[in-house]
Amino acid sequence: MIVRIWHGYTTFSNADAYEALLQDAVIPGIEEKCIPGYRSIDVLRRRREADVEFVTMMTFDRLEDVKDFQGEDFEKAYVPEAAQRLLSHWDAVSTHYELRHRAPSGECSDGRL
């Protein structure tokens, strides 16, 4: 499995609007593409001293599936124009990692999760 990680930054005043854009338009637009091997996207948000950072982590079965999503220049960031208007800056490229291990959460011996 391949994990595609990207960072974008926005102002405090644009953070909620950017998150709504992700949820209402960007993510549904990605899912509508029906990309073979695309599995999920996670969105992380963190308030920093001067701005708000967003991290997206997309998972794909194979690197070839990432190329189906982004093309041969697969490291190029996918930042739609509407998102660019709300972000102050962003990574020009995404990084890709091979997921080597995922430990499922399990129940502890005392019954807690």
Confidence of residue 43 (pLDDT cuts 50, 70, 90): very high
CA distance 91 to 67: 18
Average pLDDT over residues 103-108: 76
| CA–CA separation, 4 and 94 (whole Å) | 6
The structural domains of the chain, with segments of one domain joined by +, span: 2-98
Does residue 66 register a pLDDT over 90? yes
Nearest partner of 37 among 55, 63, 5, judged by Cα: 63
- Of the CA atoms within 13 Å of residue 51, those in its CB half-sphere come to 13
In this prediction, residue 103 carries a pLDDT of: 86
Amino acid 68: pLDDT:
92
pLDDT at residue 61 is higher than 90:
yes
CATH of domain 2-98: 3.30.70.100
Kindly report the average pLDDT of the chain as a whole number: 94
Are 3 and 100 a contacting pair, CB within 8 Å? Answer: no
CA 67 to chain centre: 16
| pTM, to two decimals | 0.88
